[in-house]
Structure 1
């Protein structure tokens, strides 16, 4: 694989037709998501989940807050994996007092996790795995979209969107495999975005610094979301049926957040004209809750695996399976993204296979390497 080939055999970016199709998809989703999801109740009714343990990243605001609260109210043991422990503990106090008298106290705890530090991710996984407790659902919900901001890098040296939205959740998913296998049948649910349709990943320029593409926060965000789908597709293939771990990406839909400033004018205009079309965080949490709890998800994932479908399961905002972007179907690129990601997060290429066998895997981050 020489330097001449960019991410997809010489491809430097999306073709204009793909780009246009991607934008049409984003706009269509925004305009019609409420209609396509009109059959769903809000909040989404959940079955009793007393035997489930769920880790949710970024659960102090937005969609993550809704996911954490609703899973806890359905009886799950919820672990809020967050940067701001105080905010999480304040929320828990509030939820407990609102819940009191309706049943047993909510089973929620807080663990510190900073996705802008891969050391923090590795230490979190070490602490969780040390409990030897089963993990049934990992929800990689935390994400950033620094609209209109200049390019920023984490202290690990990676572009911040790529690290928070893709690299850190990838490291979390792989290092928590021993606990997920213990909790099998278990699930990894990645809260993705319809914006991955306009994303493009160049594995030789994950930080978007080579000058081949101009960096904007939109490029940073959409590329990181596509990378997550591509990585999930390979992880889904690498996990044998007997491991019992399903990998699912979900689109929450277009949710009320301040994402308009960096979007094309026509989309900005749509944003301001139609608050009616945009989901509340509670509505946006439904696809992730569905992917985390619906009993048919594992069979659906197994069916895709048996059919050798090129991408992992993708659930849209209306809780129906949908197809990720054309670029996400490029198997060769997905494998390149997989290999590059493992290299960047400091894991050997055969990590998944070794963890399934019950072996230990050394990660470059988290301090184990120095011991």
Structure 2
């Protein structure tokens, strides 16, 4: 039987998201406009979707803090232009930025494998992986990737999951290390059937909202199980973060009526700079590791989940369904072509 939301679930989701949207500026008033970061010299960070929005601000600030930042992007020309601009903006007496661009197309699992293979060939440590890239094609018809996966599910969940697993050896070399998955409050609306990830079997009708929210719920399931599988001694933690309602270019793809609503909500929205705060916090602050260790010690099955105020927050109750999470894990392994033994080999040995 396919999972579904009851009326109480819908009401709870709407109440939660409405409150978060209208009050997020109140909730975040105490935060500085730009987060202060520690010196990150010697740290390596890979970030997807870094040519615009939250990803751009996150990557730039990590680089300015001294980290070696790898922009994993589909449009490498745009990324290289961006890096050139950043370097030109640096004051002459400032340390040069250590930023590079590598090609990664999340709509192609072969591209993900090629990226991971190229990175692993270096045998270098990786300290932070930020799965930031995502799509929400609200006004577009249902589309499928070359891997025959619904595009929201592939870009927002399946491809980042594969990337994370393949980079575990590098993260182990960089231990203590973190995987930061940029999530969304839309996970509260998420309903997931592991046997119908493409929303084509007729159990649930496709809509961009259903596809997007389902992909974000899937991300939490995967993150939680991977966090559980990573032994305490591995030094690797998986964190999900909701950066809040942020002004992005997605509005250009929306219907006129939705654009009007979005413009109204824009009064309460955060800028990309403000949205990047919680992502950067999860990527760098020692409190995040302490909290993750505490959750693991208590046996809590869900991974750390942070909000735009840089503090832990609750997930939806559906995100706490570990039986469904396990079914999704098994289905994901089948889709990406990794057996249980393959995944076990990628997990660090403590």
The answer, yes or no, to whether TM exceeds 0.5 is yes
Match of 2:313 among 308, 311, 322: 322
Contact 1:27 1:267 (C-alpha < 8 Å) held by counterparts: no
Q: CA deviation at 1:345?
A: 1.1
Matching residue within 11, 15, 25 for 1:34: 25
Residues 1:210 and 2:201 are matched in the alignment: yes
Offset at residue 352 of structure 1 (A): 3.7
Name the counterpart of 1:127.
Answer: 118
User: What is the aligned partner in structure 2 of residue 364 from structure 1?
Assistant: none
1:80 CA displacement: 0.2
Alignment partners' CA distance in 2, 1:72 and 1:237 = 31
1-side partners of 2:266 and 2:163: how far apart? 35
Measured against aligned partners, the alpha-carbon deviations of 1:53-93 in whole angstroms (never above 9, x if no partner) come to 00000101111000110000011000000001110110111
Change (3 A) 1:305 1:350: farther
Shift of 1:214: 1.1
Structure 1: distance between partners of 2:132 and 2:265: 25
Range with bigger deviation, 337-346 or 10-19:
10-19
Taking the aligned partners of 1:25 and 1:328, their CA distance within structure 2 comes to 15
2:44 aligned with 1:53: yes
Q: In structure 2, the residue corresponding to 1:229 is in which secondary structure?
A: helix
Q: Secondary structure at the match of 2:195?
A: coil
Specify the SS of the correspondent of 2:237: strand
Instruction: Select between 10-19 and 38-47 the one with higher mean Cα deviation.
Output: 10-19
Q: Report deviation, 1:356.
A: 3.1
| Aligned counterpart in structure 1 of residue 226 of structure 2, from 222, 235, 238 | 235
**How far apart are 1:27 and its partner, in Å?**
1.3
Mapped contact 1:218–1:263 kept (Cα < 8 A): no
With normalisation by structure 2, the TM-score equals: 0.95
Separation in structure 2 between the aligned mates of residue 271 and residue 146 of structure 1, nearest angstrom: 14
Mapped to 2, the partners of 1:305 and 1:19 lie a distance apart of 30
Provide the rounded CA distance (Å) in 1 between the counterparts of 2:31 and 2:341.
41
Partners of 2:138 and 2:261 in 1: how far apart? 17
Corresponding residue number in structure 1 for 2:65: 74
> Counterpart of 2:238 in 1: which secondary structure?
strand
Write 1 or 2 for the structure with the bigger share of helix. Answer: 2
Q: Comparing 348-357 with 290-299, which one deviates more in the overlay?
A: 348-357
Report the alpha carbon displacement of residue 271 of structure 1 after superposing the two structures with TM. 3.1
1:48: how far off? Answer: 0.8
Alignment check: 8 A CA contact 2:107 2:159 kept: yes
- Equivalent residues in 2 for 1:1-371 (5 A)? 10-258=1-249, 271-356=262-347
Deviation at 1:272, TM superposition (A): 2.9
| Structure 2: gaps of 5 or more residues | none
Note the aligned Cα RMSD (angstroms): 1.9
Shift in alpha-carbon separation, 1:258–1:108, aligned structure 2, 3 A: closer
The count of residues paired between Structure 1 and Structure 2 equals 349
**Whole-angstrom distance in 1 between the partners of 2:245 and 2:252:** 15
Change in CA separation of 1:357 and 1:186 when aligned onto 2, cut-off 3 Å: closer
Deviation at 1:341, TM superposition (A): 1.1
Shift of the 262–210 alpha-carbon distance from structure 1 to 2, 3 Å rule, reads farther
- Distance in 2 (CA, whole Å) between partners of 1:283 and 1:189 is 17
Q: Structure 1 unaligned runs (5+)?
A: 1-9, 359-371
| Partner SS for 1:126 | helix
Pairwise CA distance, 1:276: 2.3
Measured against aligned partners, the alpha-carbon deviations of 1:317-344 in whole angstroms (never above 9, x if no partner) come to 1100011111001111111111111111
Report the alpha carbon displacement of residue 348 of structure 1 after superposing the two structures with TM. 1.0
Contact 1:67 1:285 in 2 (8 A): yes
